[in-house]
Structure 1
Amino acid sequence: MKTTLIAASMIAVLSPAAAMASDECPNVPRDQWMSDAAITEKAKGMGYDVRSIEADDGCLEADAFDKDGKRVEVYFHPATGEVLEVSEDD
């Protein structure tokens, strides 16, 4: 019973973050995605120091540091490179 309650609590806390990615990230075929290098250059032009890029629920997620040195996750539209969300990475 206690394990079920803990699991349910974790799902409730984590669900909004998962919903963001699936709600905002389009269903774009992989052959239309920008390359990691192109996303990295775009992010650098915006002042981010990119450490890694990975696919996340249809978005390209860049783990980076912003101009103030804060660790952030930047979610890009995979085909256009539009920034969909920036969140601080705790």
Structure 2
Amino acid sequence: MKLISILTALPLLLSVPALAKKSCTDEPKSKWMKVEDFKKKVESEGYKIEKFKQPGSCYEIYGTDKSGQQVEIYFNPVDGSVAKKK
């Protein structure tokens, strides 16, 4: 019984690291927007950045949108386009 549980859980546990890093671009970092320029762009679109991260090949923000709703958004760091929004 324990073996079945372990074998069932194993694929789920192995997939977690794959989810941890997002892939938003294949472009080299030399083509990415500067962080300061990216933040200005996002703020000009009405977002308030509370936390900024750079997981994998994305720029990620936690904050609020124009209407005050909490957001977590992954952006393509080359052009600042939204790659994934939660």
TM-score when normalising by structure 2: 0.69
Aligned length: 84
* Matching residue of 1:29: 28
The one of the two structures with greater contact order (alpha-carbon pairs below 8 A, sep at least 6) is: 2
Higher strand proportion (structure 1 or 2): 1
State how far apart, in whole Å, the 2-side matches of 1:76 and 1:8 are. 31
* Matching residue of 1:48: 47
Q: CA deviation at 1:32?
A: 1.7
* Matching residue of 1:80: 79
Question: 2:74, 2:84 within 8 Å by CA — same for their partners in 1?
Answer: yes
Question: 2:21, 2:55 within 8 Å by CA — same for their partners in 1?
Answer: no
Q: Which has the larger radius of gyration?
A: 2
Return 5+ residue gaps in structure 1 as ranges: none
Question: 1:66, 1:72 within 8 Å by CA — same for their partners in 2?
Answer: yes
Q: CA deviation at 1:45?
A: 1.4
State how far apart, in whole Å, the 2-side matches of 1:70 and 1:12 are. 33
* Alignment deviations for residues 51-80 of structure 1 (CA, whole Å, 9 cap, x no partner): 222212211111111122222112111111
Q: Are residues 30 and 20 of structure 1, via their aligned partners in 2, closer, same or farther at CA, if it must alter by over 3 Å?
A: closer
Aligned Cα root-mean-square deviation (Å): 3.2
* Alignment deviations for residues 20-58 of structure 1 (CA, whole Å, 9 cap, x no partner): 933xx1122122211221111111111110122221221
Identity of aligned residues (%): 29
What SS does the corresponding residue of 1:56 show, helix, strand or coil?
Answer: coil
